[in-house]
């Protein structure tokens, strides 16, 4: 019962940010999208303190990290996020890309744009939004990075926006629309991606299915 209480969090999902994101609009060069939300939007809140097992971090085959055929004119090293597909591609050249399954913004919190990775952090800190503190007043208002942290093992900040590519302690949300505009990967994947991309990496966020691939 106690476990159920821990693991069930109703209502709104939040981007794993301490900041409120009015309208889910991105700052900087990112533009808000017009598309309606996907059908598989999840209603799940953050689960601070929850640590997934290695088994739970084993994704369905379609969302597992893999090298795929991917035709693009973008330079190797570029990140292309296909929101509608729930994939993040890291362009490798020679019509190849490393593909990662991701969780994306829920309806109204999706966006598209061109940004660059402006900052990278290992085990980022997390601050629950005020609404969450109201519902779960026992939570720490600041959680230093570590296991169980909803931001996961790594974070890559996107330009001057409040959005990030980050890890998660909720692997079940990969492939779904659950955040407030951030892109989440399971921790093993975000660690892998983090090691492959430097600050300054070009990130293209798209919403429509790729016409290049």
Partner 1 sequence: MKFCCGKRFGGATIVAGLAAILAGCASVPEPASAPAGPSITADMLVGNWGLASYHKDADRARTETAARAQCNKPYVISRGPSGGVMMYLADQPQAQELVVKRAGDGKTYVGPAGDPPGGDLDREVISFDNGVFVTQWVDPEVVNRYGTMVFARCASK
Q: Which residues inside 6-65 make contact with partner 1, applying CB under 8 A?
A: 6, 48-51
> Do residues 52 and 171 make contact, with C-beta atoms less than 8 angstroms apart?
yes
Nearest to 68 by CA among 51, 53, 90: 90
Member of 75, 94, 138, 200 binding partner 1 (CB under 8 A):
138
- Judged by CB under 8 A, the stretch of 33-41, 52-60, 91-99, 125-133 that binds partner 1 is 125-133
Taking CB under 8 A as the criterion, the residue among 67, 144, 160, 199 binding partner 1 is: 144
Nearer to partner 1, 148 or 213 (CB): 148
SS3 label, residue 120: strand
Asked if residues 81 and 205 have their Cβ atoms less than 8 Å apart, the reply is yes
Task: Provide, rounded to whole angstroms, the least separation between the CB of residue 192 and partner 1.
Answer: 22
Q: Which residues pair with 121 in a beta bridge?
A: 155
Cβ count near 175 (within 10 Å): 21
Residue 76 or 130: the one with the smaller Cβ distance to partner 1 is 130
Selected from 28, 108, 145, 188, the binder of partner 1 by CB under 8 A is 145
């Amino acid at each position: 019962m106690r476990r159920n209480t821990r693991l069930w969090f109703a209502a709104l999902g939040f981007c794993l940010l301490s900041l409120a994101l009015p309208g889910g609009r991105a700052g900087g060069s990112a533009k808000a999208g017009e598309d309606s939300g996907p059908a598989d939007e999840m209603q799940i809140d953050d689960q601070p303190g929850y640590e997934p097992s290695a088994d739970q971090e084993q994704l369905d085959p379609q969302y597992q990290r893999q090298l795929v055929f991917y035709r693009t004119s973008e330079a190797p090293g570029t990140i292309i996020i296909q929101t509608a597909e729930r994939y993040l591609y890291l362009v490798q050249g020679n019509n190849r890309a490393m593909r990662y399954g991701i969780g994306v913004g829920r309806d109204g919190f999706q966006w598209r744009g061109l940004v660059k990775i402006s900052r990278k952090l290992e085990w980022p800190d997390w601050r629950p939004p005020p609404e969450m503190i109201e519902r779960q007043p026992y939570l720490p208002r600041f959680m230093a990075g570590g296991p169980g942290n909803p931001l996961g093992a790594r974070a890559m900040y996107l330009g001057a926006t409040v959005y990030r590519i980050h890890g998660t302690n909720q692997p079940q949300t990969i492939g779904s629309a659950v955040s407030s505009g951030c892109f989440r990967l399971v921790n093993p994947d975000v660690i892998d991606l983090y090691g492959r991309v430097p600050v300054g990496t070009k990130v293209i966020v798209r919403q429509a299915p790729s016409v290049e691939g």
